Amino acid sequence: MSKPTIAQTSPCIVDVEPGTYYWCSCGKSTKQPFCDGSHEGSGFKPVEITVDKPKSLFLCGCKHTQHPPFCDGSHGEL
């Protein structure tokens, strides 16, 4: 599989309500940090996130995290 496209070099901080979300792992989505289907045919798949109460999430924007979908500071080494 190829390397993901770097969408941004900082975490995506999003406030979410209870529900299911899909984090973009390929970096090509126009709805960052969430999937819009741009990964089709690339070998990348979105990562499902289930939220049970309103909260803020720090999602990886560079797509190089070792703990998808959450930011682990990998953007600092790109």
Nearest Cα neighbor of 1 from 38, 32, 42, 41 is: 42
Convert the pLDDT of each residue in 12-67 to its tens digit: 999 999 999 999 999 999 999 999 999 999 999 999 999 999 999 999 999 999 99
Cβ pair 60, 74 in contact under 8 A: yes
Q: How many CB atoms lie within 10 A of CB 66?
A: 9
* Domain ranges for the chain: 12-77
Is the pTM above the cut of 0.85?
A: yes
The C-alpha angle with vertex 10 and arms to 50 and 58, in degrees rounded to 5, equals 25
- Strands of 1-78 (E only): list them: 12-16, 19-23, 47-51, 55-59
